[in-house]
């Protein structure tokens, strides 16, 4: 059985020609009206910027699983969130190891993208 789930998020850029990016907290919404509401709020907050609504379609696949137990990987885990690295995670903010750092991409991404002026974590300390 294959299922699709759609969520919406907002990308912004300060000037035309700059790469689009998600700024601040990486919210996404299942409901389009809600996302449009947030888009309008974002446009009010930063009127000089360009903002656009993005749609993320996630494919969910359900299938019978095998019952042979593979031993728990004692793979190395992220030094921040303690989640084991998953090198097969293709997401740029997923749980794959970030380059040669002891942290996962998700944590690095959250650290680099933090808009909290007082943000300090093991990564940037
Ligand atoms: Zn992590
Ligand atoms: Zn940090």
Is residue 68 in some structural domain? no
Task: Give the integer Cα–Cα distance in Å for 125 and 122.
Answer: 5
Q: How far is the CA of 50 from the centre of ligand 1 (A)?
A: 31
Residue 56 sits in the same domain as residue 82? no
Q: How far is the CA of 104 from the centre of ligand 2 (A)?
A: 12
For 51-70, the pLDDT digits (tens) are: 999 999 988 888 898 888 76
The number of beta carbons lying within 10 Å of the beta carbon of residue 119 is 13
Total residue count of the chain as it appears in this document? 125
Task: Give the integer Cα–Cα distance in Å for 11 and 24.
Answer: 10
Q: Is the pLDDT of residue 3 over 80?
A: no
Is residue 89 in some structural domain? yes
C-alpha closest to that of 53 among 22, 80, 24: 22
Q: Is the pLDDT of residue 9 over 80?
A: yes
Ligand nearest to the CA of 86: 1
- Of the candidates 13, 36, 61, which is a domain's last residue? 61
- Cα maximum dimension of the chain: 57
Residue 81 sits in the same domain as residue 109? yes
pLDDT recorded at residue 118? 85
Ligand nearest to the CA of 114: 2
Percent helix / strand / coil, the chain, rounded to 5: 20, 25, 60
Residue 30 sits in the same domain as residue 52? yes
pLDDT recorded at residue 28? 86
What is the tally of structural domains in the chain? Answer: 2
DSSP state of 110: H
pTM of the model: 0.47
Range of the domain at 84: 75-125
Is residue 67 in some structural domain? no
Q: Is the CB of residue 50 less than 8 Å from the CB of residue 19?
A: no
Residue 10 sits in the same domain as residue 53? yes
Q: How far is the CA of 77 from the centre of ligand 2 (A)?
A: 17
């Amino acid at each position: 059985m294959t299922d699709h789930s759609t969520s919406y998020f907002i990308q912004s850029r300060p000037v035309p020609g700059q790469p689009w990016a998600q700024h601040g907290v990486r919210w996404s919404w299942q409901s389009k009206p809600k996302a449009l509401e947030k888009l309008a709020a974002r446009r009010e907050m930063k009127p000089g910027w360009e903002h656009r609504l993005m749609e993320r379609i996630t494919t969910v696949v359900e299938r019978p699983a095998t019952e042979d137990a593979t031993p728990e990987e004692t793979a190395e885990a992220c030094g921040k969130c303690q989640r084991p690295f998953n090198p097969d995670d293709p997401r740029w903010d997923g749980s794959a190891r970030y380059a040669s750092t002891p942290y996962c991409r998700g944590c690095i991404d959250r650290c680099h993208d933090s808009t909290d002026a007082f943000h300090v974590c093991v990564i940037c300390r």
